[in-house]
Amino acid sequence: MKDLLTQQVAETLLKNDFKVFLTRGIFDVAGKREEERLLIKTLMNIDGFLKEHASSLRALSNLLPAIPLVVSVKTNRFPLMDGIVYSRFNIPVITPSTLEELLFEDRIPYVYSVKGKHLVVIDTQRMRQQRKKMKMSMKTLARKAEISIKAVYEIETNRVNPTLSTAKRLEEILGIRLILSYDIRSSSNHGKVKNNLKPKTELQRCVITKLRQIGIEATCIYNPRLNVVGKQRNLLASCVKNEEKNLKDEARFLKEFKDFFDCESVIILEKGKGEKKIYDIPVLEIDKLKEIKKANELFRLIKEKSE
């Protein structure tokens, strides 16, 4: 079922002029269209999406940069509804149909779910201006909308967001549109990587420390084939391993990732057998990395070894 969901997401992106990269790991579908990039995790049950998955997806999205999304169909308790933007660990969660609507329409009403309630983001300034223009008191508006005066005050002062049904009643009473649209781009959080994940090995910690010393913003992410990412002018995607086993799988993935995102990729080992590259992905020992003084030297070495 997950494979069918992933294929459905990929087809939706292709229909909307995205180029698509399918894989498994931090994300299952990547899409790019002009300057827009998406990293999408597909899950039948959103409860399988853990905090470390979200942190890794967010970290990689920040550095690319890309928009992180999860496409799912249910939780352990209920099916997800179309037209609603859910959230898990601050990553937007939507259904396949909502994704299609977002890409086709670009914007949909910003309806989101909190503790089982469907809340909406509205233009509170416009609400207040229209109420005053109509010479309507908060008390009168509250009575007509069947809510408390306190609720009207808290909505107008941005202290709470109304439920979808309340927002629709307010629109009907005031005769204007209040519900704001959800912009898929609002889910991105480009810039510095925050709350870096803790390296799982001493070698990963050593690599990240060295990359930062030479001016490359770097973090680990929890994925076996791509576990350390960094960025200066361009993204550096790397697989850091203690031993030289099963490198072909990692190198094949890094090659596909590199070609799709037009970045640099490298395999970093504690100690290798002198192999220079696999599938055009350079292999570098940690001792060689320690000798490098500047980021430009590392990128130049990667380019030389990949040729």
Can you give the pTM of this predicted structure? Answer: 0.85
- pLDDT tens-place values along the chain, 307 residues long: 899 999 999 999 999 999 999 999 999 999 999 889 999 999 999 999 999 999 999 999 999 999 999 999 999 999 999 988 998 988 999 999 999 998 887 667 888 888 778 899 999 999 999 999 999 999 999 999 999 999 999 999 999 999 999 999 999 999 999 999 887 776 554 344 455 689 999 999 999 999 999 999 999 999 989 999 999 988 999 999 987 777 899 999 999 999 999 999 999 998 866 668 888 899 999 999 999 999 999 999 998 888 7
Residue-range definition of the domain harbouring residue 57: 2-105
Does residue 129 fall inside a structural domain? Answer: yes
β 217-220/181-183 pair status: unpaired
In a domain, 187, yes or no: no
Residue 213 lies in a domain: yes
Q: How far apart are CA 6 and CA 12, in angstroms?
A: 10
Domain count, the chain: 3
- Together in a domain, 302 and 206: yes
Q: The domain that contains 131 carries what CATH number?
A: 1.10.260.40
In sequence order, what DSSP letters do the residues of the chain get, joined into one string? -HHHHHHHHHHHHHHTT-EEEE-SSS-SEEEEETTEEEEEEEEEEGGG--HHHHHHHHHHHHHTT-EEEEEEEE-SSSBPPTT-BEEETTEEEE-HHHHHHHHHHSEEE-EEEETTEEEE-B-HHHHHHHHHHTT--HHHHHHHHTS-HHHHHHHHTTSSPPBHHHHHHHHHHHTS--BPEEEGGGG---SS--SPBPPSSHHHHHHHHHHHHTT-EEEE-S-TT--EEEESSSEEEEEEESS-SSHHHHHHHHHHHHHHHT-EEEEEESS--S--EETTEEEEEHHHHHH--SHHHHHHHHHHHH-
Our measurement of the distance from residue 85's CA atom to the centroid of its chain's CA atoms, rounded to an integer in Å, reads: 14
**Last residue within a domain, chosen from 105, 130, 155:** 105
Task: Clarify whether residues 170 and 228 are in a common domain.
Answer: no
Using the structure block, give the residue that is written with the tokens 């890094």: 254
Do both 163 and 82 map to the same domain?
no
